[in-house]
Amino acid sequence: MRIRPFSILMGPASTGLGIARRTRRGRSKERFQVSCLIVTALLFVPSVGRRADGKTVGPPEVAWKAMTYQQKKAYMKEAVAPTMKPIFQSFDAKKFKTFNCATCHGADGADRKFKMPSHDIHPLPNTEEGFKAKLKSEPTWPKWTDFMAKQVEPAMGKLLDLPVFDPKKPVQGAFSCGACHRLEAAKSE
């Protein structure tokens, strides 16, 4: 009896006593068994970004900065997007009717590996004075600022297991406006 390497994986029954039996479609029995073996193996291998119990890896178990690109991508898909979508849609259902990765990461997000801050989100003034001036001069800024400060920042801080920025008690590494928004260039005097 001739033993083929495949029989080591599948046992002697897979050799067909050295004769490769053909199915109706012309594929050998061995190919079918290899396919079954691969599919079975893939079912038991945890997917990238997931723990063995099937839950997505993410904060607080694994710090955001310590996560791999694939883990971050899975966490964004499984935890962040489903949490943030209703928050944004309840604020402005028309503007955020479509809520996906590009909503926050921008149209070029995938090209930039979803790095933040986004190029497509409205830039913010780079000084406290400039920010206060915008609040007075731009009619929609108070509404947006309130939404971001009271709903978006706390939700994202919780999802990323980071403290939320508090100007009265600044903490290094806190989640703030600058995590998503670029700052306007400083004006030269």
Q: Indicate whether 105 and 31 sit together in one domain.
A: no
Cβ pair 81, 100 in contact under 8 A: yes
% residues pLDDT > 70 (the chain) = 69
Q: What is the pLDDT of residue 96?
A: 95
Q: Indicate whether 85 and 169 sit together in one domain.
A: yes
Q: Indicate whether 16 and 92 sit together in one domain.
A: no
Domain count, the chain: 2
Q: What is the pLDDT of residue 189?
A: 52
Q: pLDDT tens-digit profile of 147-164?
A: 999 999 999 999 999 999
- Please count the CA atoms within 13 angstroms of the CA of 187 that sit on its side-chain side: 5
What is the arithmetic mean of pLDDT over 79-107?
Answer: 95
Dist. CA 73–CA 85, nearest whole Å: 16
Does residue 59 belong to any structural domain of this protein?
A: no
Report whether the peptide linkage leading into residue 60 is cis, meaning its omega lies within 30 degrees of zero: yes
pLDDT of 102 > 70? The answer is yes
Q: pLDDT tens-digit profile of 164-182?
A: 999 889 889 899 998 999 9
**H helices present in 11-163, as ranges:** 29-44, 69-75, 81-91, 101-105, 128-137, 141-147, 153-160
* pTM exceeds 0.85: no
**Which structural domain, as residue segments, surrounds residue 128?**
64-179
Dist. CA 77–CA 117, nearest whole Å: 18
